[in-house]
Amino acid sequence: MCMGIHWGLIERGKHYNIMKGVQGFSQCSAVNDKFIWNEDDSVYGIDVPAWKQTIHEAECNDKECERFCKEKYRGAFVKGVNKHVCYSYDILDSICIVIKYDKLRDEYIFHGGCFPGNKIYKMVPANPGEENAFNGVEIEIRDLSDPIAQAGDWTDYEYNLGHFWRYVSALLKLIALGAIILLGYVAYDVYHIKKKYKGVDFIQGEDNGGGQTYGFEP
């Protein structure tokens, strides 16, 4: 499945014709000679699978394999010629995408997904023998300016501030290291000034205009 997006500000109204296509997508893998592609369909978007199949080698005998596949993989058992195989399936559960609005260009740019690992979609295990119409798939589009989206971007969408504080800790360590280097340089400079003027007294006086003057006296 190829998913393209058109987006617009709510202030401009909910009309498709005045919305702009989101930029930054790659060409969909389904755009080839094997599939019928309507002329109005966008060729750029996100590849989202409706389902995925996984094959597992089953270490069991003929009597136990059906129960083994169902309990361990929630899958279906198929008896092969040389080996036993379990087929398990994951189906599409939800889609979540983050976009960024460029005010200067008045463009919407694809930023990434909003699931852990920057993933765009989430799959859930399917139940063998159960039909799915995919009517309940949730699709969510977030603006990067949203504080929740920003918090997710900082924490890889796990919303675990441990990652964030590690970055803060590293930054503070760099600042502390810079301060130590700066203090060392200042101390070194002061040491050389004192060494240069060792044995010289600092005096205060007045000039002819009554102003204060300062100087050194050997």
Do 152 and 62 fall within a single domain?
yes
pTM above 0.75?
A: no
Do 114 and 199 fall within a single domain?
no
Last residue of a domain, one of 159, 189, 209: 159
pLDDT in tens, 133-145: 888 888 888 888 8
Do 39 and 131 fall within a single domain?
yes
Do 172 and 147 fall within a single domain?
no
> Do 64 and 83 touch, CB atoms closer than 8 A?
no
Do 141 and 197 fall within a single domain?
no
Q: Please, what is the end-to-end C-alpha distance for the chain in angstroms?
A: 88
Do 183 and 212 fall within a single domain?
yes
Do 89 and 145 fall within a single domain?
yes
Name which residue leads in pLDDT, 210 or 42.
42
Least confident range from 77-91, 124-138, 183-197: namely: 183-197
Do 177 and 84 fall within a single domain?
no
Q: Which domain does 84 fall in, by range?
A: 2-159
Last residue of a domain, one of 141, 159, 177: 159
Asked if residue 180 has pLDDT above 60, the reply is: yes
212 by DSSP, 3-state: which?
strand
The total number of structural domains that make up the chain = 2
pLDDT in tens, 87-124: 888 999 999 888 888 888 888 888 888 888 888 899 98
Do 147 and 79 fall within a single domain?
yes
Do 151 and 187 fall within a single domain?
no
Do 11 and 85 fall within a single domain?
yes
Share of the chain above pLDDT 90, in %: 2
The rounded distance, in Å, linking the Cα atoms of 146 and 131 is: 37
Which of 86-100, 125-139, 178-192, 194-208 tops mean pLDDT?
A: 86-100
Do 92 and 118 fall within a single domain?
yes
Structure confidence at residue 84 (pLDDT): 79
Asked if residue 190 has pLDDT above 80, the reply is: no
Structure confidence at residue 144 (pLDDT): 81
Last residue of a domain, one of 125, 141, 159: 159
> Do 90 and 125 touch, CB atoms closer than 8 A?
yes
